[in-house]
Amino acid sequence: MTKKRNRTRPDLTLQERLNKFTQEARAAAKKLPAGAERHALLQKVRDGEAAAEMERLLSSPDQQTPK
């Protein structure tokens, strides 16, 4: 018999989770000295911001298929 999947919904929307991640990562990057680790963290921040923008554009009413 197969295991049942956990079908709970996240408390926050994707947009809210992406914004929270970018804010926390940016704050953590400010505490780090210049270097590879900080650069990698700032790259993740940029990726998160890009993902949030793409999600916003794709979920906008203008992008919905006509009925």
Q: In the numeric block, which tokens belong to residue 61?
A: 């009413």
Q: What pLDDT score was predicted for residue 9? A: 85
Average of pLDDT values for 40-59? 93
Q: In the numeric block, which tokens belong to residue 32?
A: 């780090």
Q: How confident is the model at residue 3 (pLDDT cuts 50, 70, 90)?
A: confident
Q: How confident is the model at residue 41 (pLDDT cuts 50, 70, 90)?
A: very high
Q: What pLDDT score was predicted for residue 34? A: 94
Average of pLDDT values for 30-49? 95
Q: Quote the pTM value.
A: 0.74
Q: In the numeric block, which tokens belong to residue 27?
A: 């704050």
